[in-house]
Structure 1
């Protein structure tokens, strides 16, 4: 990299002009989509929007956003990203979602909050929050986040597993998706401690009815290890690089490899083999699983036909994990059926607790 194109430090005043040019010229700031893949089927479940800048010098997106934070342009930049993300939903393939990064503290900014909340419907949007920035103490950002969730948005927490502050934020946010930091994913196929940590996070997030997403998957070995651990979602160069367009499918060879690897993981110890057909919809008289206007699961019929809150599980979850979560519910709710959902939120069916416990006994040889 020559001196003419090397980016100056973020506190260099030249960044003000560079950022002003980017904000004035939309073509200088593009959004590329990286696929998020279902590690059971090999299908594309969603996309993460990633910024790419065309400025006077070469710099990675994190440097651009650090400079924007330094020179007061971050709210305008992130508001633009949110506006584009909501508009991009029109181009999403069916049954997919879109994740977009936003700094938690910026949700308290009127410009950022307005870009998000002026849309009454935020379904299929996942707000990906970094764990390294605390939500504002006064609660303004959390209030915006609650309103976004009420409009159908989901919440993801980025870079999980990199510090105590992340655990604190995890408990405060109860996110729908938790992204395993690439530091835990890199070399997971050869590191038993990393595999154990991934299992711990999977169990913790599963108890909160959330999904684990492994980011930074770069090798076939890492991919196969994550599939073997039952991690439902993956993202990284081994699964697809960021692209100007949203690619609807993986290359046939890559998708077939994921399916073949998943098929080698015995289903006898997973929820997928126990799912019973169920009608999902908004009809309280006919459906078995009740869906909210946002498309999320709102309830399930218990054994008496009464609507009760639903506990959702992934098809790849282990029987022991799910049985433990079910038995930790309040005593009056322990025998309510579970709702099995795909990575995109589609209802696959229900799992009766008695069938789950019998299968667990069979798998243990008792």
Structure 2
């Protein structure tokens, strides 16, 4: 029997390390044990654990174990024949588990804390020497890396639980404006967390690694919905989600038929692959028929831009900042943006220039027909609702030199306009 559990998480790479140690040394069992609350708890087992009477996430009092004696220097790292060593021969565990040979090394974390041990056992005496101890010590470094990673995931999971329980998300808003007149078209909702948790992308990544990503994204969307009453009747709220969270989003809006769907935009990030486009289209279809719009976020930043556009038929395409930044002086960037303008015209989508930070790039984008924009040049994200009130009533003072008459595609604005008849199949 073999098995593996580090705080309840199966870890394939660590399982292979244990298997390698056991087979190379010719032993019956390899294990990783944590010293916790006065016990030696088996966090990973590979081999015939049942014949030793051991189970995952269980273990004896630490004082009765070989590992305590090994880590305190009372026995060597390797005991080739327990029947010939008086220090362990008469221990209860030797008889109960029928231990004939033992080799083990301590596991110490990066801060020097003793976590536990990495060991191999056999029922029969076995030839062991310093080279075997060295081999196990080398593998113990890999085990330590996995333990450290799991402990960090446990810390992250605890932090995410705290965020979810206390609702510790603040919603910052960044305006999306009509690039020709400065009118507010909508706002993008951006999650902000206490500084001790790190940047938002780090927090969301940690949440997904901990299996709590959908819960956190769902909470962020619910918090963002509170902004809708503060917007004008022709202004929209955009929320950014990975594809898997979009399914949950669809369920949430369908459960609230009173929501003004025509004032909601679902931004699906371009950086993450969609596992099933047909399923996502079907899931979003009822909400889109009621007015929900879909945007492809960060278009041009990764591998899936055109695929997303073809499969999801978006209402809005948001051109990534990597194409906008420097486009005034870069012919290649302008060419790609021009291609997006032509694509948007063909499918009836609106365009937004993201990450606009320079007046020259702002002018270049709208001269090519990109009629909406957001970025630090126009306004930084703000949690101050007084800023939102000002944007709603006054719009944004535009930088640059162009007038509306200079812009060839000035009608392509992602506002709450009538939708084309067929959005999805």
CA, structure 1 residues 99+15, in 2 after alignment: closer, same or farther (shift >3 Å)? same
2:215 to 76, 100, 108: 76
2:345 to 206, 230, 236: 206
Residue correspondence of structure 1 range 168-247 to structure 2 within 5 A: 168-244=307-383, 245=385, 246-247=388-389
Normalising by the residue count of structure 2, what TM-score does the alignment of the two structures yield? 0.58
1:48 to 188, 191, 196: 188
Task: Give the root-mean-square deviation of aligned CA atoms.
Answer: 2.7
1:106 to 230, 233, 245: 245
Task: Give deviations 1:310-348, integer Å, cap 9, x for gaps.
Answer: xxxxx52xxxxxxxxxxxxxxxxxxxxxxx56431347x
Name the SS of the counterpart of 2:219 in structure 1: helix
CA distance in 2, matches of 1:129, 1:253: 26
- Confirm or deny: 8 A CA contact 2:254 2:287 kept in the other structure: yes
CA distance in 1, matches of 2:389, 2:358: 20
Task: Give deviations 1:17-59, integer Å, cap 9, x for gaps.
Answer: 1111111112x2111110001011111111000000016x251
- In structure 2, the residue matched to 1:32 is 172
Larger CA Rg, structure 1 vs 2: 2
Task: Give deviations 1:267-307, integer Å, cap 9, x for gaps.
Answer: 6xx4xxxxxxxxxxxxxxxxxxxxxxxxxxxxxxxxxxxxx
Task: Give deviations 1:180-204, integer Å, cap 9, x for gaps.
Answer: 1111011111111111110111110
CA, structure 1 residues 240+141, in 2 after alignment: closer, same or farther (shift >3 Å)? same
Residue correspondence of structure 1 range 112-151 to structure 2 within 5 A: 112-120=249-257, 121=259, 122-137=261-276, 139-151=278-290
Name the SS of the counterpart of 2:310 in structure 1: helix
CA, structure 1 residues 341+220, in 2 after alignment: closer, same or farther (shift >3 Å)? closer
Name the SS of the counterpart of 1:158 in structure 2: strand
1:62 Cα shift?
Answer: 0.6
CA, structure 1 residues 125+235, in 2 after alignment: closer, same or farther (shift >3 Å)? same
Higher RCO, 1 or 2 (CA under 8 Å, sep at least 6)?
Answer: 1
CA distance in 2, matches of 1:49, 1:77: 14
Name the SS of the counterpart of 2:391 in structure 1: coil
Question: How many residues in Structure 1 have an aligned counterpart in Structure 2?
Answer: 266
- In structure 1, the residue matched to 2:162 is 21
Name the SS of the counterpart of 1:249 in structure 2: helix
CA distance in 2, matches of 1:70, 1:346: 39
